[in-house]
Amino acid sequence: MKLHLIISSLALAAATGAASAQEACSTYEIQRGDSLRELTIAVYSTEDFRIIFEANRDVIGNNPNVIRVGDVLTLPCLEDIGRAAAVPQTEAEAMAAEMAAELVKAAEDRAAKAIAEAESRVAEAKAEAVIAAKAAAKDEIEAARAEGAALIRNAGTGERPEIRDRQLILITGGNYSPFTDEALPHRGLYTNLVETAMLRAAPEQSYKIQFVNDWSSHLDLLMPTLAFDATFPWSRPDCDDADALSENDRSRCETYNFSNPFYEVVDTFFAREGSGYEETLTYADFAGATICRPEGWSLSHMDAVGLYEPAITMLRPVSPDECFHALMDGTADIAAIEAHLAVEAIGRLGYEHRIVENPNLAAIKSLNIMTHKDNPDGEAILETLNQGLAIMQQSGEWRDIVSTALRYQMENG
């Protein structure tokens, strides 16, 4: 009797790389470590594994959570699932589509290069070099988009391609448990919310989510190139009261559009046990202290209560971990960190009972998706995500996703 190895179709694929080479309108033999989810992403750029599941019920059976090594699956053609690109009606349209596709591919290659440069960026990089790189990248991407638009316009369509006719690229970062991290189920609670919202509102939309763990590079380097369509999760400052905002938050309001809130977090303060800062009842008692908050994180809730320089001294390292190390070595007096992330980091770093939360001073903040105001598709993308969020909230799916993710965090630490 032939033995079959049973594997979970919801697990992340192992490092076989087999599924990544597959195309629609073909067959594929299940390998060790494969999953329906990863196979669907590789072939159709969506997590909706039902595309493959429904076409292979006779092979898989009634449980999409179980697939067997050695089984051969049929990968439906794009036109069979309503995702085929429109067929050009004229030779000019065909040439324009082909050339525009080449331009998009070149832009994606440049985007990948920008990611690599951002990930490898060293602390001593000069600001002038970063500004020059941003300007050059933006000019190049804009030129490619303008040329592609001109080609299509000259071919007689007269319209810019709809966003559903191209792949959207969203960026987020890791080490933000339970919200975003590639090691978490569904790559994190917030990532799951975003992908589900896209699936509910626009199941035909092709997209991919890129992780770039240098969070500050999202706003400073990557999004301004317009090679990326959206970034998440970020807090929205009180843009209606711009005069009360810090320069960075005011710039965020001027440069980006925001989705409806997908989730709310508690931003609070942590200090060393016995320092006195963990027990204070008023923000005024923080005067003269050095407060650590990671680079790129909004300061709006601190600005609103007078916690800005020179009343306090700001320390802005790259990561939250560095803030907790700064507390322990005395470089900082207070760390202003989101509560979920802080609890995870303090436990992981071994600082339990040595770094504690001030339970008296906190602020509730929403987490949103942002698009650059120069992106002509930005508002349409946010409208789609807002529609998906509304569907999830009405059906109860939003609550189910959140409760499952938080339960996983509680059980796994």
Residue 9 scores a pLDDT above 50:
no
Looking at residue 57, which CATH number applies to its domain? 3.10.350.10
Domain membership of residue 148 (yes or no) is: yes
- pLDDT tens-digit series, residues 17-76: 444 457 888 999 998 878 887 888 888 877 678 889 889 989 988 777 778 889 999 999
Where does residue 124 rank: exposed (0-12), middle (13-18), buried (19+ CB within 10 A)? exposed
Q: How far apart are CA 275 and CA 273, in angstroms?
A: 6
| Mean pLDDT, rounded, for 6-25 | 47
What integer pLDDT is reported at residue 328 of this predicted model? 96
User: Considering only 61-75, 156-170, 214-228, 381-395, which range has the smallest mean pLDDT?
Assistant: 156-170
Place 166 in a pLDDT band, splitting at 50, 70 and 90: confident
Percentage of residues of the chain with pLDDT beyond 70: 74
Does 294 sit behind a cis peptide bond, omega within 30 degrees of 0 on the bond before it?
Answer: no
Domain membership of residue 217 (yes or no) is: no
Where does residue 354 rank: exposed (0-12), middle (13-18), buried (19+ CB within 10 A)? middle
More confident site: 147 or 163: 163
Q: Are residues 14 and 98 in the same domain?
A: no
User: Considering only 50-54, 66-70, 107-111, 283-287, which range has the smallest mean pLDDT?
Assistant: 107-111
Q: How far apart are CA 252 and CA 300, in angstroms?
A: 11
Which ranges of 45-90 does DSSP label H, i.e. alpha helix? 50-55, 57-60
Domain membership of residue 35 (yes or no) is: yes
Q: Are residues 107 and 70 in the same domain?
A: no
Looking at residue 313, which CATH number applies to its domain? 3.40.190.10
Q: Are residues 94 and 126 in the same domain?
A: yes
Contact 90, 170 (CB under 8 A): no
- The sign of the CA dihedral 216, 333, 279, 413 is positive
Q: Are residues 73 and 90 in the same domain?
A: no
Which among 324, 346, 366 is the end of a domain? 366
Which among 345, 366, 387 is the end of a domain? 366
Closest to 369 (Cα-Cα) out of 350, 356, 386: 386
Which among 366, 385, 402 is the end of a domain? 366
Domain tally for the chain? 3
What integer pLDDT is reported at residue 2 of this predicted model? 33
Q: Are residues 356 and 317 in the same domain?
A: yes
Contact 75, 106 (CB under 8 A): no
Question: What is the CB neighbour count within 10 angstroms for residue 146?
Answer: 11
| Mean pLDDT, rounded, for 385-405 | 93
Domain membership of residue 185 (yes or no) is: no
Domain membership of residue 207 (yes or no) is: no
E strand map for 120-262: 168-172, 207-211, 230-235, 256-258
Domain membership of residue 372 (yes or no) is: no
Q: Are residues 19 and 40 in the same domain?
A: yes
Q: Are residues 114 and 31 in the same domain?
A: no
Domain span at residue 16 reads 6-81
Q: What is the end-to-end Cα distance of the chain in Å, rounded? A: 42
What integer pLDDT is reported at residue 158 of this predicted model? 43
Q: Are residues 71 and 90 in the same domain?
A: no
What integer pLDDT is reported at residue 371 of this predicted model? 97
Q: Are residues 274 and 360 in the same domain?
A: yes
Q: Are residues 280 and 345 in the same domain?
A: yes
Q: How far apart are CA 163 and CA 146, in angstroms?
A: 15
Q: Are residues 150 and 105 in the same domain?
A: yes
Place 191 in a pLDDT band, splitting at 50, 70 and 90: very high
Domain membership of residue 375 (yes or no) is: no
User: Considering only 23-37, 102-116, 127-141, 163-177, which range has the smallest mean pLDDT?
Assistant: 127-141
More confident site: 326 or 412: 326
Domain membership of residue 243 (yes or no) is: no
Contact 276, 354 (CB under 8 A): no
Q: Are residues 283 and 348 in the same domain?
A: yes
Backbone angles phi, psi at 118, to 5 degrees: -65, -40
